[in-house]
């Protein structure tokens, strides 16, 4: 068996060495806890930054979507206004052309009356005092009549 002195010596060595190893184990455990805590904090910070970036990206995406929608509304309104302006311009142009047509018809009527009056002056008097129709009228060739005739 073992000698009592040897056993006591081993027990003394154990008493002296165990507290060092226990302290070292405790230190390692504390270091591991600090490292774990630091890793957890860094992980939380990374997650928080990622969530902020995701929220910002969603907000920017929403702003872009809202801006695109607003742009589409503005474009639609501008196209509607442009159609309205074109319609108004067409109505105005039609009115001007209709009035011009009326003035041209009046002018042609006056021209015809003037030609008829000149024809009447240049017709010789008949025996009964009236002038025969169509004998000495002023000749207007077909080309001139085509130029003064209203066009469709």
Q: What is the pLDDT of residues 105-122, one digit of tens each?
A: 999 999 999 999 999 998
- If one counts every other C-beta atom within 10 angstroms of the C-beta of residue 148, the result is 13
Integer Cα distance of 61 and 51 in angstroms: 15
| pLDDT tens for each residue of 89-109 | 999 999 999 999 999 999 999
Q: What is the pLDDT of residue 90?
A: 96
Q: Which of 141, 135, 109, 110 is nearest to 122 (CA)?
A: 135
Alpha helices in the chain (DSSP H): 4-121, 142-148
Integer Cα distance of 109 and 102 in angstroms: 10
Whether this prediction's pTM lies above 0.85 is answered by no
Phi, psi angle pair for 106, to nearest 5°: -60, -45
Q: And the tokens for 134?
A: 């169509």
């Amino acid at each position: 068996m073992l000698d009592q002195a040897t056993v006591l010596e081993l027990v003394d060595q154990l008493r002296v060495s165990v507290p060092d190893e226990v302290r070292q184990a405790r230190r390692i455990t504390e270091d591991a806890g600090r490292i774990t805590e630091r890793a957890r904090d860094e992980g939380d910070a990374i997650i928080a930054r990622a969530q902020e970036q995701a929220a910002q990206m969603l907000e920017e995406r929403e702003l872009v979507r809202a801006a695109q929608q607003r742009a589409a509304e503005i474009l639609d309104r501008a196209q509607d206004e442009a159609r309205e302006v074109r319609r108004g311009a067409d109505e105005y142009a039609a009115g001007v052309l209709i009035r011009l047509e009326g003035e041209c018809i009046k002018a042609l009527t006056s021209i015809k009356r003037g030609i008829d009056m000149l024809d009447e002056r240049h017709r010789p008097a008949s025996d009964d005092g009236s002038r025969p129709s169509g004998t000495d009228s002023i000749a207007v060739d077909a080309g001139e009549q085509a130029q003064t005739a209203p066009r469709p």
